[in-house]
Every structure is written in structure tokens, then in C-alpha cells.
Structure 1
């Protein structure tokens, strides 16, 4: 019997439909977390054609081959440069377990743990901008600026004015900004014009311009935030260089204000921050320079090492280092993370710490700026509360955007990395592993100030939340596994 055209097309459709489902079962789970694989398979099984299109765009977190080659080359250069740099002697009172964490980071990243270093933690936006402006005014050779987001505005004017003064006296200013993020925010053209007019060298990171052959997974982003001045002073943390409202009308209507933590660093660890800047600069410009090896002097009481991470590094370095710290804690863990969507390993590490009697406190925001991420984060609260984790919610309309950990009384982490699967697998991040009681004291002081503006979440209150909110939490938790 001869098939009609409609019957033939129907048969072809079902053949392709079945083939796409079968191929997905083989392809999707390869080298992928089970939770992520299941989520992708669910999407493809519901609608194979649409699911495969989305998977082809967002299912691969590998960089293009050319960029991977560059990243491998710069990591080799960093490894050769730091090979003979010894780790600093342990500070008095160093816990025995910290040496293993330091060794892990150095094996994966080649970054040495060096000192002595000095750190000042800045907790308010205007103070953060003024601190950078003062240090930029001291620059004699170069200022390296790398941010996820840079926008010239009235609130960021002290920083831009300091850069203008620096270029006017002959200082080289190099600026890196994440491309796709920056074009989504207001005042992009004005910001670029301002930087170009002052003579700064500006480069977009991970540009997404298919018409120029620049393409990678759209949500692979460079999320690092750092400033290096003459290789002797550095800044890093959670800050984006934009008005605390982020200038979007919806934020202004809601009165949202972002709050960050920013650390000023002096000492040999600044060289590692600068090496990270140069790796990103070379990836975008092909300009490769000899890395500085002469450590700046400091009379500080800290040791520190850079923890770099991102698709260009193997082994999810930040996740591994964070897990080691959580498993090793003996007294107290403080976690401040605006986006908290842990994988299974992180979830078990946190709840196990609480169950073995460690005082674990998680700071998050009462309000969210990203709907699905906010609800995905909330889906973990019941398990955390039942395990004994204290959840402290910063009062709205502030979005608590700080990102740091303190472990007991001598070890801390501060940087750009959230406790979520995006920061562990998709974003380029920078964190500082800091050894020393004075840094923990400063960060715990910041946390104390947060508590004054926060409420403690109880299990009873949480279980009484509206059913519709519970439904959104559950749905968001499923989609959060996609990477």
C-alpha cells in the first residue's frame, strides 16, 4: 500500500522523535553529573527537537578549542614561573589540616601560598570606591582592572576619576569586562567612551559575536572582580563596578540595593592576582608578557593564595577547596553567599558539619533578584534547618551580594565565587584562601553587622510558607541542575 505524503511525514517525524530520545540516553550522561543529566534528559524526552536545540546551545561547558589551547599555555607559563616559589612557613596556630588544602590548590592551580600579607576588608560601597581611588592615585606604572560589570555613573565616579588622573600622568590602565553582561546594562556606550577618552586599554572578555566568529556557550561568563596596582596592591571580592541599584528600572522601583564585601590586599599574593589578570588579558588580546616574580614587601600577619577556577581549569578548583575546608572545620563555619544552589557534595558537606556539632551559619537575602535562582536556593532551606544549620536572612530591600567563608578562627575565603553550580562549573572565578586570625576577625565583624539587619529563619516559619511558593521552589530546584 502506497503511503500518502502526510503519512510519510508522520512516519518520519516519529522516527526522528524516537532516534533523538535514544541518542540522548547515550550522549547526555557522558561526563556529566547525574542530576544534570537527568534534568537534560527530562527536557529532551518531553520535547526532543526543542530539547536538543537548547542542549546544543547550553549543554556543553567547554570553551572553544582555540581558547582552551591559550588557557593551557598560560597555565603552563604560570606553573613554570611559580615552580620555585616556596610556600610561606605556617603561621603560629595553623591547623594541621590546612596544609593539605594549600597543597590541593597548588597542585590544581600552581598558585603558591605566600606571605606575609596585609588585608583590609571594606564593607560599604562608597568606602570601597574611595579605597581603590586612593590606591590608584599612588600608581606609578600600571593599573589592571577586571570586573564582571563596569558602568560609569555618579556613584562610581571616584573610581573613573582616579583612572583619568592615572592615565594623565602616564600610568598604563588596562580594563577587562565581561562582554555579554556589560551590553545588557544601561550606559554601556557612555562607559566605553569614557574609558577610551582617558586612554585606557579596554577589552571585552568572552565576547559573543557570532558574526565575527566569536562564539561559545552563551552563559559561560567571566565573573572575576579584581584590581591590581603596580603589582604591589590588589583588590578582590564580590563587588561589581556599578551603582548599588544596578540602574535597572525594576530595581529602582523595588528600592533594591546590592551590598558587597571587598578586600584590599598588600603582599606577595598580589602577584598571583596579576598573573590571573594577565591570563585573561592574553586570552582576549594575544598579548603575552613576562610575569613578575619579585614579591612586594609587607609587614602583615597573613598568608594567602589565589584560588582560580573556571572552564579553563580542570577539576573545579573552587569546589574542591571549599569542600576540603568544610570537611575540616572543627568549631565554626560562616557562609555568606547570595546565590546558594549547592551540588550534592556541597550539600552533604554543609549538613554533615552541622550534624557533627559544628556551628554552621548561612547568610542569604530575604529577597531575590533572580526569580528561578532565588526559588532554587529556597528549596534547600528545609534540609539545612533540619540538620541544624542556622539561616540568617538579610532584610529587604538589600540584596546581600557578599561572598565569603570563615572556618574556625584562622582560615577564610573571599572572592567572586558563589556557592552554586554555576560558579563551580560555568563561570571564571577568583577567590583568596587566607590564613590568619586577623582576616577572620574582620570578616566576622562584617557578619556581626549583617546580623543586626537580619532575621533568623526557623523551621516552623519555613514550613508555614504558602503552597505556591513551595511549588516554585520544587520546580526551580529541578532546573537548577542544568549545566
Structure 2
């Protein structure tokens, strides 16, 4: 009798999940994959779906952007941007409009942007800027690890708090899982406000473990900000014993564009703390009118209506006339980006991808490589950087548009993570990023299609097995 009750309950849950799948409007292939998983793996299939498969955009588990407080706040943020003229926005009007609709932040001009390559240059600039803080310091990181960098930050925070500077820190519950409670308590004792983003909790384990805050943001007095691929970890300055030196790209920003990053931090802070005091325009400070770069912030997450970062990549690739150069460690693009790359390449656009020869994850390595044959066949040029590990997330096109940020070229970044990128509409900046890319290509190994297709069969088998896991990597 007990068996029949349990079996009936199992069938009832299974039917409810099937109905949910059909109502969510997933891609047919994804829906079919989950149906097969649910009905071929007893109990475990349902568990995997509840943890990894639910459509957060459709279900609106995170309703942050639909609160009246946030809607009012975004309208106020928009007033603090220096809007550009129709003439200035003519060349990239479509992508500017797309990002504005997706992320609510219009482009602004008069920005000073500084490209920072690798950890030493990045953290030197960050510490110099932090030392100048007078009002507040806001930090948001996916990985915040203990070491020399974290100790240096602690000592700086201690000095700044004594001078009346307010310090707030957000760190991801999974990415920073190794962060010691002793260190966190020391920060709290000196007056730092610190929150964990989506912590692992028994009651919310299934609903939150797969949705992470992958952003890296620092905002200082609303005057200077930083974003990019570099986390707070000593491996960015000391290297990794297994992978060697970590190569990454970061960005220092000054000007009206900083308002957007401050707003993103404020909304994330409000999500975890429920403190609406952060949603005040008193955190916005005026910027001097200056001639500078036009730039725009694009952000997305599981609470977004659309994947704004994916749309950004797709639009840049689709609009390219001459070339698109992409540096990214995790190229698991999904069908839309994959088709965009292939179509652009076959149309005569010079498409180049730069990533590491080494990988920090075996499954990810083989999954990434599973796309190489199709891309090479379409004429896409692929370069493997042999020295250390490339962690940069950049794209540059046609000497006119580029982006630096946190977004990987994979389904996780597009669908499941909170991400942020800066899109720069500046010729000189694009040319600088292009030249850096080409310099790295000269140091790299270019794959050849005829050679690659002859790779060992067991490599192809590993690629095929790894590709099955692409939706959750």
C-alpha cells in the first residue's frame, strides 16, 4: 500500500513538472532532454530538474526588477546620465537601443576609460583609487579569497573607516565559499557592511544553487569604478601552481558611466539586504563635463526578461562588416551565437577566437572543444594561448565597438548568472584592444581544420560526452 502511495505521488510530481516544462516555452530540444532525464532517471531526474532546469525568467523567482522601489530608482538613475545626441549614436544606434531596452541604462559620453591587463596592473590601480576614497567604497565579487590581496584590503578598509568612509561588500555564496568566517567577522568588527549573495541554505538550496552572482564591480565615491574578469584572488598576481600565470582584462572607468555600475551594486545590495537606503540619489555625485569616450553598461541575470549580455554579443557579431575578435575562456555558445559566428565568417567577416590551450576544468575543456570542428569548417580562426590561463572576456569589432566585462560565451553566463559588461563606442579604445588581441595571437597556436578533424577518436568521444553537460556548465 505504501509503495502505491509513493508511486502515485511520484507520478503526480512528474506530471506537474511536464506541465511546467510545456508552459515555460523552452526550446523543443531542451524540453525533450529534460523529459527524457525525468523519466529515465528515477527520482534523480526530478531532482536535477528542480536544481538546474527551472526557467527563472518565466517563473520570476527573483522579482527584484518588478518592485516599485527599483522601478522608481532606475528612472532616477537615467536622469544622471549624459545623454548623447542622435548624430553621435548613429553608427551603433541599434545596439545602443537594444541595451537601453534590456538593461535600462542609456549610453553616455565624456567617460575616461583605462584598459588594465592582468592582475598586477589591475590591483595597483584599484588600491591607488581606494586610497583616495572620501565617502564610500562598494565592492561586489564572485570570488573573494583570503591571501595577500584580501589582507591588504582589510588594512586599507580599517584606515578608511576611521576617516568616516562607508564600506559595503557583496560576495557570492558559491564563488567565495572558501572565505573564512574569521575574516568576515574581522571586517564586521571594524565597521564593514558585508553580505553573502544567495547563500546556500537548506530551504532554498534547489532554487538558488544554480544561480550565481558572477559580477566584479568596485565603485568609489561614484567617481571611479572598475569591472572586468579579475576576482579578488592571489592567483591573479602570483599565478597558479597548475595553470601558471592568469591572464585577464579589467577596466577602470570615470565619468557618467560610473552611475550605472553604482546602480547595479545598489540593486544587488537591496536584493540581499532589503535596505532601501542604498536606493537614493545621494550616492550619485556630479562629474565634470569632459570630452571622452561614449560607453554603456549592459547587465543581465535570472531576474531579467531577456539575456541582455547574450543579445549584446549577438548584435556585435551580426553587425560586423570587417572583423570580430573574441577572447574568452569558456566558449560554449549555444545555437544562436554559434550560428551568428558561422554566418558572419562565411559572409567574409574575419572571425577570430582566442582561448587557452590549458583549462581549469576537464569537462569544460572538452565541451569547448566540441564546437571547434563546426567553427573551423565555417572559416572561424581559433587560437590557443599556450602560456598560463586566459580568463579575459573581451570582444572588439571593426575598430569602432568593443566590450570588456564578466560574461563568458556560454549558457551559464547568458541564462543563469548575474553578469555585467561595459560596451565602448570608441575607435581608439577598440584599436588598442585589437592590437593587444593580435599580439596574443602571434604567441598562440592556430588550429587547422584539416588537422583537427583527424584528432583521435577518443578525443571526439570525450567532446561528445562533455557536450551533453553544456546547459549546466
Q: Under a length normalisation based on structure 2, what TM-score does the superposition of the two structures give?
A: 0.90
1:284-317 residue CA offsets vs partner (Å, 9 max, x unmatched)? 1111131345542263521111101001111111
Which residue in the other structure is 1:311 paired with? 302
Which residue in the other structure is 2:214 paired with? 223
Q: Determine the C-alpha separation between the residues in 2 that align with 1:145 and 1:408.
A: 33
1:370-429 residue CA offsets vs partner (Å, 9 max, x unmatched)? 222221111110111111111111114x22110011111111111111111111110000
Which residue in the other structure is 1:51 paired with? 45
Select the residue among 117, 127, 138 that pairs with 2:132: 138
Which residue in the other structure is 2:406 paired with? 416
Q: Determine the C-alpha separation between the residues in 2 that align with 1:360 and 1:415.
A: 20
Q: Does residue 270 of structure 1 match 2:255?
A: no
SS across alignment from 1:182: coil
Q: Does residue 162 of structure 1 match 2:156?
A: yes
SS across alignment from 2:355: strand
Select the residue among 348, 373, 377 that pairs with 2:368: 377
1:422-468 residue CA offsets vs partner (Å, 9 max, x unmatched)? 11110000111111012213322331342243211111332232221
* Structure-2 change in CA distance of 1:247 and 1:467 (3 Å): farther
Which residue in the other structure is 1:353 paired with? 344
SS across alignment from 2:275: coil
Q: Determine the C-alpha separation between the residues in 2 that align with 1:65 and 1:199.
A: 38
SS across alignment from 2:210: coil
Which residue in the other structure is 2:174 paired with? 180
Q: Which range moves more in the overlay, 213-222 or 198-207?
A: 213-222
Which residue in the other structure is 2:100 paired with? 106
Q: Determine the C-alpha separation between the residues in 1 that align with 2:185 and 2:15.
A: 52
Q: Determine the C-alpha separation between the residues in 1 that align with 2:368 and 2:418.
A: 21
Q: Determine the C-alpha separation between the residues in 1 that align with 2:274 and 2:8.
A: 47
Superposition deviation, residue 269 in structure 1: 0.4
- For the 8 Å contact 2:223–2:285, the answer to whether it is kept is no
Which residue in the other structure is 2:119 paired with? 125
Which residue in the other structure is 2:463 paired with? 473
Q: Does residue 77 of structure 1 match 2:77?
A: no
- For the 8 Å contact 2:297–2:422, the answer to whether it is kept is yes
Q: Does residue 430 of structure 1 match 2:423?
A: no
Superposition deviation, residue 107 in structure 1: 1.5
Which residue in the other structure is 1:454 paired with? 444
Superposition deviation, residue 126 in structure 1: 1.3
Aligned residues: 467
Select the residue among 173, 183, 189 that pairs with 2:181: 189
Q: Determine the C-alpha separation between the residues in 2 that align with 1:430 and 1:54.
A: 28
CA RMSD of aligned residues (A): 2.8
Q: Does residue 28 of structure 1 match 2:21?
A: yes
1:158-181 residue CA offsets vs partner (Å, 9 max, x unmatched)? 444433332232211111000122
Q: Under a length normalisation based on structure 1, what TM-score does the superposition of the two structures give?
A: 0.88
Superposition deviation, residue 79 in structure 1: 3.1
Q: Determine the C-alpha separation between the residues in 2 that align with 1:170 and 1:426.
A: 37
Q: Within 5 A, what are the aligned runs for 1:329-340?
A: 329-340=320-331
- For the 8 Å contact 2:413–2:419, the answer to whether it is kept is yes
Which residue in the other structure is 2:199 paired with? 207
1:333-376 residue CA offsets vs partner (Å, 9 max, x unmatched)? 01111111111111111111111111111111111112222211
Q: Determine the C-alpha separation between the residues in 1 that align with 2:149 and 2:454.
A: 40
* Structure-2 change in CA distance of 1:55 and 1:208 (3 Å): same
Superposition deviation, residue 25 in structure 1: 4.9
Gaps (5+ residues) in structure 2? none
- For the 8 Å contact 2:245–2:389, the answer to whether it is kept is yes
Q: Determine the C-alpha separation between the residues in 2 that align with 1:150 and 1:467.
A: 40
Select the residue among 352, 364, 386 that pairs with 2:377: 386
- For the 8 Å contact 2:331–2:409, the answer to whether it is kept is yes
- For the 8 Å contact 2:383–2:445, the answer to whether it is kept is yes
Select the residue among 286, 290, 305 that pairs with 2:280: 290
